[in-house]
Structure 1
Amino acid sequence: MFYSLKNRLIAFFVVLLVLSFGTMSLLLFNQSRSIIRSYIESSALEKMDEYGSFINMALQQSYDLSSLVYNSDITQRWDAQLSNPASSEGQKMLANITMSKFLTQTTNNYSIVSSVTIYREEGMRIGADNQVVTDASFKQEAWYRNFIEHSNHWVPAHTDQVEIKGAKPYEVVSLLLPIGIFEPSLAKNVMKVNIKADFLLEPLNRIHLGESGTIFLLNQQGNPILSQQEYSAYPEAAAEVRRVRAGKAAQGVVYLKDQKGASHILVYKKLNITNWLLVGFVSEQDLYAKLYKLRNSIIVFASLMLIAAFVLAYWISYGITKPLSRLVSAMRQVQKGDFAQAERLTPPERRIRNEVDYATDTFRSMVKQLRYLIRTEFEQKLLRQQAEYKALLMQINPHFLFNTLELMSSLAIQQRTKETVTVIESLGKMLRFSLRISEDLIPLREELKYVRYYMSILDIRFGPGLDLRIEEAGELDDLEIVKFLLQPLIENAVKYSFIHQANARVRITVRQDKERLYLAVADNGIGMDPELLRELNDQAMRQQLEQLLQSKTHQIGLRNVLARCRLYYGDLFSFRIDSSEEQGTSIELSLPIQRRNEDVSRIDRG
């Protein structure tokens, strides 16, 4: 019912609001997302550049301090004094104190460095502020083993025994370098330069992506340098980080999806000095949280406007379209032929105030006139149809009767008394049956009995040269059909089977299959010309009754049967003709099942 005025008004308001608000929301959302994404990307990369410069400065100071200690004469003399077996304990203690003072002065010159400690292989460490401790437990520390075994110069955030000075120890990031040799595995002295992790972490925490996006500082193995445990919450980023590290780009932005299909943004920048990597990771849902909130607000507002549009359209339809809707419903009932229902659905009579009232009053008068005219025309059509059917029926009887009388005359001339009597008796029974012209339908068993009388006449007429049989299948006892369907078909089949041969074979089949009754007559005659076959199929659909009644052609029997079936059964009737020249013809009629005491109105047959 989309074409109703009410539905069109509703659809108009809905489309108007949906298109306007939808287009505006889509453009606003996409444009805003594009602007925010571009801003976030450029802002994140810019902040990463600043933080990268800060990290480079911090690392450069660490390397400068390490280089100063590494190349100092004091360090070399200290190492030589402690390595000399002839040195006394006092000389060694004096060298350690001198080295500690040197480390104190050096550490004070670099504000970024928290402490510097030198660890000796025999189990002693020397730090600033006169820290000279004999303790070999550092050899079991992971950072020491990784340095000696794997040459890992940088240690991620960890707690250092040297730095534990208060109740709340802080974490440090350490640079490890050998003293006196470049190969860590052969080093007897290891210098450990500590930088407070918070010194590097605080400026990094001030850089945000969206509401909760974080930037991580990763080492060469892809692990966080600082105390950023949140990195473990992004397992899908690890594989992408490996690809980024293997790539040539120094910085960039990557878009990826997690296992649940959510979109994420990864921003990265490589640090040249240590080959560290700054990685920012944030979900689009978090990045555009405020934008999504704005979109949801627009959707809610648009939904309220849609509801208002429905209410407005309904109010308009109640005053304007309701009478028209009832009028359209009444028209549909007229289309179906239910004039009584149409009159009930038509709006009640009232004073004409507008065009709708005028159309309603005009339609009401039209329905009354149509109802009267259709009833009159229907009655006349039934009378005409009955007369046409009777005319076709009367056309069959003389045609058959003349052929039978010729047979009787021939038999009498030949003095074949017994056969003549048999023909007369069969003809009498057939005539008695055919005189019941007031009946359209007859029991199928009576039609078959009529056919058998006719078959007995044909057996006498053609003798052994005619092989004529009838076969039955299915429940046929309570069925009814239009009379005189089989006899004209049998007559034609016998006639055309004898044209070019001395023997004729005709098979009559009567069977029921589901809700259809099939009557078939097959012969071994000369067959039908293809042009004639097309003509019969065409005439079955468009044959004018007057032409058929005036027809003088030799196919009058078949044409008559097809015309009567079409006239009585309408679209419920169908037929099929299979014919080949010199091979015979098979004609099958398909009728609807009609049992006794059942009446199917002809108007329902099409």
Structure 2
Amino acid sequence: MFYSLKNRLIAFFVVLLVISFGTMFYLLFQESRSIIRSYIESSALEKMDEYGSFVHMALSQMHDLSSVVFNSDMTKTWDNALSDPALPEGEKMLANISMSQFLTQTTNNYSIASSLSIYRKDGTRVSDGNEVSLNVPFQDEPWYKDFAERGIQWDSAHADPVEVKRFKPYQVVSLLLPIGTFEPTLAKSVMKVNVSSDFFLEPLNRIHLGETGTIFLLDQAGRPILSQSKEFDAQAELAVKVEQARTSLEPQGVLYFTNERGTTDILVYKKLQIQNWMLVSLVPEKDLFLKLTKLRDSSLFVATLLLVFAILGASWISYGITKPLSRLASAMRHVQKGDFAAAESRIPAERNVRNEVGFVTSTFRNMVEQLRQHIKVEFELKLLRQQAEYKALLMQINPHFLFNTLELLSSLAMQRRTEDTVNVITSLGKMLRFSLRISDDLVPLGEELKYLRHYEAILRIRFGDRLSLVIEEEGGMEQREIVKFILQPLVENAVKYGLQSNSGARVHIRVSADQGRVRLSVADNGPGMPPEQVERLQAEAASIPIDQILKSRSQQIGLRNVLARCQLYYGSLFTFTIRSNEGQGTVIELILPAAIGGKAE
């Protein structure tokens, strides 16, 4: 699929745009998230600091108000009057009215206070606004029980009867203090300073984290102080996470939690120095980045449109380039196969060349035409040259062997060994008759071995007991055809080097099949060759020029001639190995393609 330039060009544009835009979006989104998160966290903590200062100021005013009442001589006089059993009820009522007036004046000096009341255990309630009530059943109220039994001075948002009576239905936060003592359980009178819950809640609601995040003001028990209980209890996991923040040693911080939906929640908290109160806010992380997520989705949509347009543009551009190039590539494949006619048919002749691609196509067509003619002429010349070189190498073998044999006949004649002379002449005649068939490049393996056995007969007459020559032949190999005259030169070299041994020459020839090919092995007991000489022979076999072999007079002329002829005839299908160690002889193996009747298996 991606062999086509058109497909690769389109794929390149797609990958380039996807990687570039994807990387850009990812980095921008992650960096924006990090910046926004850091900004929101720092902004939330700063706002909590400001709100904490506001709460501290409000509580300080409430304490100041209660301190004025607690330390006033009027309060002491009123408490003593109501505690005196001998004082008439009328006098006590006058004392209550005077105390109410004092509370009214004091409350007016502190705008933060919504109302101020003093409760006595006998059921008397004195409030600001010149209000005195008797037999008020406040002892069963939760705020009073918590104060009297556990000493809790702050009461969370609740509805106060005084406020309700004054047509103020809003809830209040109260500060409770004993009168005349510091021990709540010993106090006969309790002062209750009420501040509207909205006084604390309104500025708190102006602090936002994300779109849905809510900040809660919690008391020392971890419960909302203001009228936020429903919102707090609606978040089931919030109480557990608040407890983790309370146990933290840090006065403020940010905690991350994975909720039951698998998303991340962010808890921002700040511990206030007064009353162990704490400000907390829990907001889903995705809510913080809602606008950023929308921006990312919009950007991805635009990027997708750009990608589609880029693909269409790449297709249009690539079509004008790849169509002629595709035809050119198809023509090249036909040229690679040698089918020049089909290649020319794939590239129609163009009269007008409009661009660089058209020029390349037209030039290639002309080149194919010229190349076809050139290859035809060059092939014919190379074939003639190759045949001439092969025949020259073949003719080099016969004189070399013939001179050695004639010297042997001369020696036998001088020794008057008539029978051996006749046998040598007979074997030589059969060998010459075989060698004169120079028109045949391939011969059956059986005839090549028969030729080798005639040569063996001559060698045995020449060397006698000094020669041990064994031919091991695997059955069914006689009809396999190989290049002629490749065993005799190797055996001649093996005998020559084997005679350098004191025990005489021992030569072993083995013919076998190797995965559909013919393996010819010639081993001797000669002095062997050093490794560097073996490497040099192997390197020369693939690179030495033919004319240099023909002019060579070295001792390896037989081996070089055989390797050169095999390389020339078989090319890359021919392989050979030379195994030799100094003092341990040499083994030469030739591996040739198997052929029967001129056809390879």
TM-score, normalised on structure 1? 0.70
Distance 2:102 2:525 in 1: 126
1:246 pairs, out of 223, 246, 249, with: 249
- Identify if the C-alpha distance between structure 1 residues 353 and 186 changes in structure 2 by more than 3 Å, giving closer, same or farther: same
* Conservation of the 8 A alpha-carbon contact between 2:58 and 2:112: no
Q: What are the residue-to-residue correspondences of 1:243-282 with 2, within 5 Å?
A: 245-247=248-250, 258=258, 267-282=268-283
Q: How many angstroms does 1:555 deviate by?
A: 0.3
Q: Would the aligned equivalents of 1:103 and 1:127 in 2 still touch at CA under 8 Å?
A: no
Where do 1:102-181 residues align within 5 Å? none
> Which residue is 1:293 aligned to?
294
The alpha carbon displacement at 1:561 in A equals 1.9
The residue that corresponds to 1:564 in the other structure is 565
SS of 1:577's equivalent in the other structure is strand
* Counterpart for residue 55 of structure 1: 55
Bigger radius of gyration among the two: 2
1:301-450 aligned within 5 A: 301-319=302-320, 322-327=323-328, 329-331=330-332, 333-334=334-335, 337-350=338-351, 360-407=361-408, 410=411, 430-444=431-445, 446-448=447-449, 450=451
Q: 1:484 to 1:575 in 2, by over 3 A?
A: same
- Over 3 Å counting, the alpha-carbon distance change for 1:116 and 1:516 in structure 2 is farther
Q: Which runs of no fewer than 5 residues in structure 1 stay unpaired?
A: 602-606
Distance in 2, Cα, partners of 1:500 & 1:341: 64
Do 1:125 and 1:133's aligned partners in 2 also have CA atoms closer than 8 Å? no
SS at match of 2:279: strand
Counterpart of 1:45 in structure 2: which amino acid?
L
Counterpart residue identity of residue 272, structure 2: L
Flag the 1:508–1:179 CA change in 2: closer, same or farther, 3 A: farther
TM-superposed deviation, 1:342: 1.8
Counterparts of 1:486 and 1:70 in 2: how far apart (Å)?
132
- Measured against aligned partners, the alpha-carbon deviations of 1:517-549 in whole angstroms (never above 9, x if no partner) come to 544433332222455334323322221111111
Q: Could you say what secondary structure the match of 1:400 adopts?
A: helix
Alignment of 1:197-216 (within 5 A): 200=200, 203-216=203-216
* Paired AA for residue 322 in structure 1: K
| Higher deviation after alignment, 546-555 or 479-488 | 479-488
- Distance in structure 1 (CA, Å) of the matches to 2:171 and 2:73: 31
Q: 2:594 maps to what in 1?
A: 594
More displaced stretch, 562-571 vs 302-311: 302-311
Answer with 318-327 or 494-503: which moved more: 318-327
What fraction of aligned residue pairs are identical, expressed as a percent? 58
SS across alignment from 1:49: helix
Alpha-carbon offset, residue 373 of structure 1: 1.5
The aligned amino acid for 1:48 is M
Tell me the equivalent position of 2:130: none
User: What code does the residue aligned with 1:566 have?
Assistant: Q
Q: Using the alignment, how far apart are the partners of 1:103 and 1:412 within structure 2?
A: 165
Is the 1:211–1:286 contact (alpha carbons within 8 Å) kept by the matching residues of 2?
yes
Distance 2:52 2:183 in 1: 29
Deviates more, 1:365-374 or 1:457-466: 457-466
Asked whether the equivalents of residues 58 and 112 of structure 1 are also in contact (C-alpha less than 8 Å), the reply is no
Q: Distance in 2 between matches of 1:452 and 1:385?
A: 30
CA displacement at 1:574 relative to structure 2: 3.2
Q: 1: CA distance between counterparts of 2:490 and 2:456? A: 12
Measured at CA, do residues 172 and 484 of structure 1 come closer, stay the same or move farther in structure 2, by a change above 3 Å?
farther
Determine if contact 2:2/2:8 at 8 Å carries over to the other structure.
yes
Counterpart amino acid of residue 53 in structure 2: S
CA apart distance, 1:388: 1.8
Which stretch of structure 1 is more off in the superposition, 261-270 or 299-308? 261-270
Q: What does 1:508-519 correspond to in 2, within 5 Å?
A: 508-514=509-515, 518-519=519-520
How far apart, CA to CA, are the structure 2 residues paired with 1:383 and 1:493? 34
Going from structure 1 to structure 2, the CA distance change for 1:39 and 1:548 (only over 3 Å counts) comes to same
Greater Cα offset, 287-296 or 401-410: 401-410
* Secondary structure of 1:246 counterpart: coil
C-alpha displacement of 1:575 = 3.1
Work out whether residues 117 and 192 of structure 1, in 8 Å CA contact, stay in contact via their aligned partners in 2: yes
Mapped to 2, the partners of 1:478 and 1:152 lie a distance apart of 117
- Give the 3-state SS of the residue equivalent to 2:522 in structure 1: strand
CA deviation after TM superposition for structure 1 residue 410, in Å: 4.8
**1:81-100 pair list within 5 angstroms:** none
Tell whether the 8 Å contact from 2:116 to 2:193 is kept in structure 1 after alignment.
yes
* SS across alignment from 2:596: coil
Aligned CA distance change for structure 1 residues 376 and 200 (closer, same or farther; 3 Å)? same
Q: What whole-Å deviation, never above 9, does each CA across 1:303-347 have from its counterpart, x for those lacking one? A: 323333333343344456633553454345435544233212213
Partner of 1:604: none
1:459 deviation in Å? 4.9
Greater shift, 234-243 or 527-536, is seen at: 234-243
- 1:291 Cα deviation (Å)? 2.7
TM-aligned CA distance change 1:579 to 1:118, over 3 Å: farther
Contact 1:576 1:588 (C-alpha < 8 Å) held by counterparts: yes
CA distance in 2 between counterparts of 1:71 and 1:515 reads: 121
**Aligned CA distance change for structure 1 residues 126 and 235 (closer, same or farther; 3 Å):** closer
Distance 1:179 1:406 in 2: 150
* Structure 1 residues 192-244: Cα deviation after superposition (integer angstroms, max 9, x where no partner): 9888877655543442222233434456677766535465557996798479x
**Where does residue 539 of structure 1 map in the other structure?**
540
What is the deviation of 1:299?
3.0
Assess, with a 3 A threshold, how the Cα gap between structure 1 residues 581 and 176 changes in structure 2: closer, same or farther.
farther
Name the aligned partner's letter for residue 288 of structure 2.
L
Comparing 223-232 with 203-212, greater Cα deviation is found at: 223-232
Structure 1 residues 437 and 48, CA gap change in structure 2 (3 angstroms): same
> Could you tell me whether the CA contact under 8 Å between 1:216 and 1:231 is conserved in 2?
no
More displaced 10-residue stretch of structure 1: 476-485 or 233-242:
233-242
Q: CA RMSD in A?
A: 5.8
Q: Which amino acid counterpart does residue 49 of structure 2 have in structure 1?
A: D
Query: Equivalents in 2 of 1:188, 1:432: separation in Å?
Result: 149
Q: Distance in 2 between matches of 1:597 and 1:223?
A: 105
Residue in 1 aligned with 2:491? 490
Structure 1 residues 531 and 70: CA distance shift in structure 2, 3 A = same
Partner deviation per Cα, 1:456-502 (whole Å, 9 max, x = no partner): 55455444444544556799677544333333223222322322533
1:40 matched residue in structure 2: 40
Q: 1:24 to 1:558 in 2, by over 3 A?
A: closer
- How many residues end up aligned between the 2 structures? 581
Query: In the aligned structure 1, how far is the partner of 2:44 from the partner of 2:360?
Result: 71
**Residues 226-268 of structure 1: CA distance to partner in whole angstroms, max 9, x if unpaired?**
535465557996798479x423xx556x586859997776644
TM-score normalised per structure 2: 0.71
Is the 2:160–2:172 Cα contact (8 Å) retained in structure 1? no
187-196 or 54-63: bigger deviation: 187-196
Q: Are residues 419 and 360 of structure 1, via their aligned partners in 2, closer, same or farther at CA, if it must alter by over 3 Å?
A: same
